[in-house]
Amino acid sequence: MQSLTTRVLLAVVAFSIAHSSPARAANLIVNGGFENTGGTFVDEGGGVMNTALTPGSTLVPGWTVTNAQVGWISNTNIYGVATPYGSYCLDLTGNHDNGVYAGVTQTIVTTPNQRYRLTLSLGADQDHSPNSGTKSVSVTAGAASTSFTFVPSGTGNQWGNFSFDFTASSASTQITIVGTSAGSGSQYLGLDNVSVDVAPAAVPLFGVPGRAVLAGAMALVVAASLRRVSRRRER
C-alpha cells in the first residue's frame, strides 16, 4: 500500500503535468531563416545577391521585398558577415547604403483573437566599422507594431534576439519588418531567425494559486513524515 507521503507526491506531479505549457507550436513564418530553399540565390560576387531584390521581388522564398533594395547574404561572403542561424541572412541596407532601408513582408494564417509571439534576430559585425554599431527595425503584425534596437558589444559578429506579442484580428495577418537605422556602420543591418507562433499561456503552477497548492502539498508531506517518525519512536 502506498504511504500518504507517496500519494501526496504523486498528486503534486500529476498537477504539474496537467498545468504545464503545451509543446511549442510550429513556426507560422515561411522561411524565417532566409535560406535558399527555392534555389533562387544568385551569387553576384563575394557571396551576396542584391541587384534583383528590389521592392516587389519574391526571389527570397516566402518573402516580398518592400521599401528599398535588400541584400541576401551567404555565410560564404568575403565581407566577414555571418549568421549562426543557418547559411543565409538579410542585409536591410542593400548595396546602396544611403540611409533608405529595405524591408520584407509576408502574410501568415492566424486565428482571430489568438495571441501570437513574433521573434527575430538583428546582427552587426563589430570587427568591421562599416558593418558595426546600433541596429534598429520597425515591426508590424496586422494592426500591432513595435520597434527593436540592438546595441552590440564585444567583437566579431553579434546578434540580438527580440520578441513581442500581438493578438490576431482576422484569419490572416501581414508581417512586415523594415530597417530604420544601421547606426555608425551604415553598410550592414542584419536580419535573421524570424518566427511567429502561438504565445505561451500563463502557467497556473507558477502563479499565486499554484504556489498555494504546492505549499499545501509540501505541508502535508512534512506532516505525514513527522507522524511516521513519531510512531516509530513510540514503538
What residue ranges do the domains of the chain occupy?
A: 4-20+203-234, 48-198
Whether the model pTM is above 0.85: no
Domain 48-198 has CATH 2.160.20.10: no
Put the strands of the sheet holding 48-49 in their side by side order: 48-49, 71-74, 88-91, 190-198, 115-125, 157-167
What pLDDT digit, counting tens, does each position of 61-110 carry? 999 999 999 999 999 999 999 999 999 999 999 988 788 999 999 999 99
Put the strands of the sheet holding 144-150 in their side by side order: 64-66, 103-109, 172-181, 135-141, 144-150
What pLDDT digit, counting tens, does each position of 178-206 carry? 999 999 878 999 999 999 999 998 655 54
